[in-house]
Amino acid sequence: MKVKVISVLDDNYMYLIIEERTRDAIAVDASVAKKLLDIVRKENVNLKAILTTHHHLDHSRGNADLVQQFPELPVYGTDDRIAGLTHRVVHNQILKFGDINVRCLFTPCHTSGHVCFYMWEDGCPDAPALFSGDTLFVGGCGQFFEGTAEQMYKNLIETLGSLPPETKVFCGHEYTIRNLKFALKVEPDNEHVREKLSWAKARDDDDIPTVPSSLEEEFLYNPFMRVREEAVQKFTGKTDPVDVMRVLRKEKDEFKKPKDQLPIPALLAYQWSLLNQSASAHE
């Protein structure tokens, strides 16, 4: 099972997962249709499905264009707000595409209809892969736009945290350096955070993605996965893990917030303009 990491827009990732025996492929979060199709042709694969983690335009904008060009192409997700949605999935549902298996994991919080996709290939020794959208990032987690700390705790610790530790984590954005700088504020004595931050900065200098990480690694340096650790609890002043999660998210939202940061409606409008520019540039 080959995973192509595709950088789009300002800091988004979309993914193309390829079954190398058949050359069939699945896309995750197809935000820019033209770029995805260019890579599909370059890799000489057959696109079989689109999986969408949530409805935000920077993860789903390309769906409509793809379905228009390929009317039989299925689009999977859990939220009716997803553009081009054809198949609504439920928690723990298993999808099968040739030898590739996809387990759908409902993870509401960033949006009320967010889903992560856990994949493995039959007979393949490679570690399984988790496409976590905006629920779990390298060193961080998504904002609680439509959910609660209770939900994010369940998502990270119970749902995703129970997957095999070797699972590779492919997230929706390149936020790693920013996340790890916050993690270092939370746990200044955590050597795993320091090492990962140094590594991430070197990757950034060479313009190389920091994905994937692994679940095992995330439990070492991601404060949102470490809400039961004494040092993280001390930073928040709380001991109940859900309370720790709630305080961490509030602190992260305020962490080095740029003075000229756009409000959410303006930010969404800006993302929309980027998407339209990306599409029109290739029309």
What one-character-per-residue DSSP string does 13-68 give? EEEEEEETTTTEEEEES---HHHHHHHHHHHT-EEEEEE-S---HHHHTHHHHHHH
Categorize the per-residue pLDDT at 216 as very low, low, confident or very high, splitting at 50, 70 and 90: very high
Residue 282 falls in the annotated catalytic set: no
Task: Name the catalytic one among 24, 29, 55, 58.
Answer: 58
Residue 58 falls in the annotated catalytic set: yes
- The region that residue 137 occupies, defined by phi over 0 for left and psi between -120 and 50 for alpha, beta otherwise, is beta
Task: Name the catalytic one among 29, 65, 110, 114.
Answer: 110
Contact indicator for 176, 221 with CB cutoff of 8 Å: no
* Mean pLDDT score of the chain: 93
Residue 192 falls in the annotated catalytic set: no
Task: Name the catalytic one among 56, 65, 79, 114.
Answer: 56
Radius of gyration (Cα) for the chain, nearest Å? 18
Task: Check whether 28 has a pLDDT greater than 80.
Answer: yes
Greatest CA separation for the chain: 54
Virtual torsion, Cα 136, 40, 82, 266, nearest 10 deg? 70
Categorize the per-residue pLDDT at 283 as very low, low, confident or very high, splitting at 50, 70 and 90: very low
What gap in Å lies between CA 58 and CA 50, rounded to an integer?
A: 14
Task: Name the catalytic one among 54, 65, 79, 114.
Answer: 54
Residue 56 falls in the annotated catalytic set: yes
Per-residue pLDDT averaged across 51-75, rounded?
A: 97
User: What residue type is 110 in one-letter code?
Assistant: H
Categorize the per-residue pLDDT at 185 as very low, low, confident or very high, splitting at 50, 70 and 90: very high
Give pTM, 2 decimals.
0.91
Task: Name the catalytic one among 29, 65, 79, 134.
Answer: 134
Of 111, 49, 36, 46, whose CA–CA distance to 85 is shortest? Answer: 49
Residue 11 falls in the annotated catalytic set: no
Categorize the per-residue pLDDT at 256 as very low, low, confident or very high, splitting at 50, 70 and 90: confident
Residue 54 falls in the annotated catalytic set: yes
Task: Name the catalytic one among 24, 55, 59, 79.
Answer: 59
Question: 263 burial class (0-12, 13-18, 19+ CB within 10 angstroms)?
Answer: exposed
